[in-house]
Structure 1
Amino acid sequence: MAPSASHLVDELLEEIFLRLPTPAALARASTTSPRFRRIITDRSFLRRFRKLHPPPLLGFADERAGFHPAEAPHSSAPLARALADTADFTYSFVPKPSNDHSWRPCNVRDGRVLLESSRYGTFRELAVCDPLSRRYVLLPPMPEHMSVQEQRPWEFRSILAPIAEEDEDETSFKVICFADYETKLDVFVFSSVTRQWCIAASPSWISLGADRPWGLRVVFGGSRGFSCFDYVRGCFYSASPWKDRLLVLDTRTMEISTVNDRTGYHMQLRWLPGQAEGVSARDNGLGRLRPAQVRSLPAIVVGREGALEMFSLVGDHSPNGSFHLYHTAQDTNSESPKEWQLENIIQLPGQYDYFTLGAAEGFLFLGATSEDQLDIDEDSPVWLSKTDWDVDYFSLDVKTSELAKVCRRRREFFHYEDVYWYFGFPPSLSKPSI
């Protein structure tokens, strides 16, 4: 049976809408007529549009249950303000965890926020929510035969898995948890489809050719445990557990591996100020204390096919010191030894003391405190925890090297920052993610 004229017109309109330059333009088109809105808000159309026009960065959620929208003159400022006015980033719609503790975010992806109980403990209560639609799922406790073992994990880290390209159900999700034991690394996965936990991997540290990582016990030694994961082409990468290698989780096979960080140009890069062998101003004898002076972790970014690309922040945290981003890459297709090569060096604007946050969706994220703020000598009687700082957040477009200020927040002194970037469409075009 031949398609109706109305159906053909809808298909033609879809092709026209796909060519609109931005999500904001698409949102404006959707208000023109009921027919336009029906076509534009269809999940299958939005999926096609998203492949051509990735959702823009709208701001950052923080560990204290708040949202910091992109501010003018950032191009996403109007959409970010609409999100901030509509969504609930206090998570008041999610029932409180047991013992009346509060929730705090520990990961954000695809419009979802992963929450964990603020109660200290190894296996914390978890929930996944959508702040825009105010929907949530309380995750069941991990079965005892998985969580109760001879060893007690040193650290437990939870992240959201990205939506698979072939996954038609955009309301389903997976949570991946890493448990750092004395002799092994366990990877647990929760599926919203089965509503069950499973052990996806359990390699020993010896099988990975590494000693057990230092973890959070020695945060000032230049390692932050499993505190930062970057996602690139189906794999999570973390430069956090060790100084000399990356931890890699392939989400397609759930295999764990490592990548050597000490080859080629990295042999000299890691000795530069702010890198693994000189992690703080105090270690460098500068006697100057500012937020986030512990090691700024390298970030793995989406680059060219067949290469693993990384940005490393170099700077000595001295007054009015200079900061640079070193862009390095490793050819993953070559049969020859895979050595890190220097691609580019980017000088960052002055008058700031920078630190890295992570990378996602083709962007590198940085935080910074301006030089005109309070300087604290390490012998000062001032309690660091009682000082307040204005922190500016920046995004660097990996392809163009364009640096853009996203927003500013005021907060107390901190050793390292936990904020979570939020990408999304305008609220009027956002479907529930749960």
Structure 2
Amino acid sequence: MDLHDDALGLVLERVGSHVSLIRAAAVCRRWRRAIAGAAFLRRFRSLHAPAVAGYYHNTSPWARILMGVDARASKGPVFLPSSPPVVDARHFSLDFLPDGAGSGTILDSRGSLLLVMGRRGRGLASPGMVVCEPLTRRCEIIPPPADFNGGGFLFSCLVDGYADDNEASGHISMSNFRVLCMFKRDGVMHAAMFTVGSSWSNKNIGHIAPSLQWPDFLGRAGGSWYFHVEGRILVELDGSTGDSTSSVILAIEESDQRCKYLVTEGRDGKPRFFTVFNNTMKVFAKLHSGEWALENSVLLSEATCGLPGYQPSFFIYGQEILTRGNKALHQEVDGHQ
């Protein structure tokens, strides 16, 4: 009972299994309240991710060699099983796609589905997207949006499935998936949503359309994608609905044009907008009003002093962000080594 609630949560997060967590919830009312909290459960799931069969990788020939894959074989995505003696990688082959396994790049995954961009000018119509389910070897070719007309693609992703009489809202499958695309044509940004069994419909992105530059992808957090548009416009794209909203990025430094903006997810499951400039990392949290407010500021040379291998010369030049995420934020001085 002497433990603060935050300290209690840190202890309970390290319970070894879901079964043991249920037993811990039966200890007392205080433990049950701590475990039942939505923020706690999000953190617990991130630390105790369910077992997965393996991972797909978009690879170059050199990367295939490092993975132990024959570089002379097909150059498409590689599936690496998490447990080779147990998982047969052949069940996850993409050789059933219209262009075969030797072409294509995986753009996104959601549930059991993959969104793949195939080669232009072959079996797939330009821009050559297909949604597939490797385990059932089903796929559907996605035609280009009506307004595409030779434009340039910026971004494509799978969006949560629509609800019908047989599907629960948010559960994605080959019968209810949606694909969101952002593309540029004649110098103007467009967005369109494809719904399986239907067609493309236009999405309103009025705050992006006037832009003459490509938006910069900042990251994904809290089920949304984030982009930086010229000026100080931050665009949030909801991964469940495909809708977008915009807000204004704060002026961080006088010469903040040289700052690198990124978005990641905090331990509470909410997005964090951060940047590194002049040896200092600043982290901003999103308020209920939709505005971003400074949450923390870290002088990297001081925060890392005393770590093995530390040298003051590391901070003469600009710092590069190597990784991000709530585990990295906790273990590597807010995403920096």
Distance change (3 Å), C-alpha of 1:298 and 1:168: closer
Q: Residue in 2 aligned with 1:259?
A: 247
Instruction: Tell me the SS of whatever aligns to 1:94.
Output: coil
Q: How many residues align?
A: 260
The CA deviation string for residues 328-359 of structure 1, in whole angstroms up to 9 with x for no partner, is 1232337xxx35324242737658863356x6
Q: Residue in 1 aligned with 2:296?
A: 343
Distance change (3 Å), C-alpha of 1:93 and 1:188: same
- After TM superposition, give the deviation of residue 123 of structure 1 in Å: 1.5
- After TM superposition, give the deviation of residue 118 of structure 1 in Å: 4.0
Following the alignment from structure 1 to structure 2, what is the Cα–Cα distance between the partners of residues 197 and 94? Answer: 26
- After TM superposition, give the deviation of residue 298 of structure 1 in Å: 0.7
- After TM superposition, give the deviation of residue 176 of structure 1 in Å: 2.1
* From 380, 393, 396, the counterpart of 2:328: 396
Q: How does 1:80-229 map to 2 (within 5 A)?
A: 81-82=82-83, 86=87, 88=89, 92-98=93-99, 102-110=103-111, 112-119=113-120, 123-130=127-134, 134-142=135-143, 146-148=145-147, 152-162=150-160, 167=169, 169=171, 171-172=173-174, 173-181=177-185, 182-191=187-196, 194=197, 196-203=198-205, 207-208=206-207, 211-215=210-214, 225=215, 227=217, 229=219
The CA deviation string for residues 121-156 of structure 1, in whole angstroms up to 9 with x for no partner, is 9522323334xxx3343222326xx3355x642324
Q: Tell me if 1:326 matches 2:328.
A: no
Gapped runs of 5+ residues in structure 2? 1-13, 22-40, 68-80, 305-309
Following the alignment from structure 2 to structure 1, what is the Cα–Cα distance between the partners of residues 204 and 271? Answer: 25
Distance change (3 Å), C-alpha of 1:243 and 1:346: farther
Q: Residue in 2 aligned with 1:230?
A: 220
Q: Identify which of structures 1 and 2 has the higher relative contact order when contacts are C-alpha pairs closer than 8 Å and 6+ apart.
A: 1
* From 240, 248, 266, the counterpart of 2:236: 248
Gapped runs of 5+ residues in structure 1? 1-18, 27-48, 70-79, 216-224, 280-295, 316-322, 365-394, 405-434
Instruction: Tell me the SS of whatever aligns to 1:214.
Output: coil
- After TM superposition, give the deviation of residue 104 of structure 1 in Å: 2.0
- After TM superposition, give the deviation of residue 102 of structure 1 in Å: 0.7
Work out whether residues 246 and 259 of structure 1, in 8 Å CA contact, stay in contact via their aligned partners in 2.
yes
TM-score, scaled relative to structure 1: 0.46
What code does the residue aligned with 1:159 have? Answer: C
* From 278, 298, 321, the counterpart of 2:262: 298
Over aligned residue pairs, what C-alpha RMSD do you find?
A: 4.8
TM-score, scaled relative to structure 2: 0.57
Q: How many percent of aligned residue pairs carry the same amino acid?
A: 10
What code does the residue aligned with 2:243 have? Answer: E
Work out whether residues 154 and 184 of structure 2, in 8 Å CA contact, stay in contact via their aligned partners in 1.
yes
Work out whether residues 97 and 139 of structure 2, in 8 Å CA contact, stay in contact via their aligned partners in 1.
no
Work out whether residues 183 and 212 of structure 1, in 8 Å CA contact, stay in contact via their aligned partners in 2.
yes
Work out whether residues 96 and 103 of structure 1, in 8 Å CA contact, stay in contact via their aligned partners in 2.
no
Instruction: Tell me the SS of whatever aligns to 2:142.
Output: coil
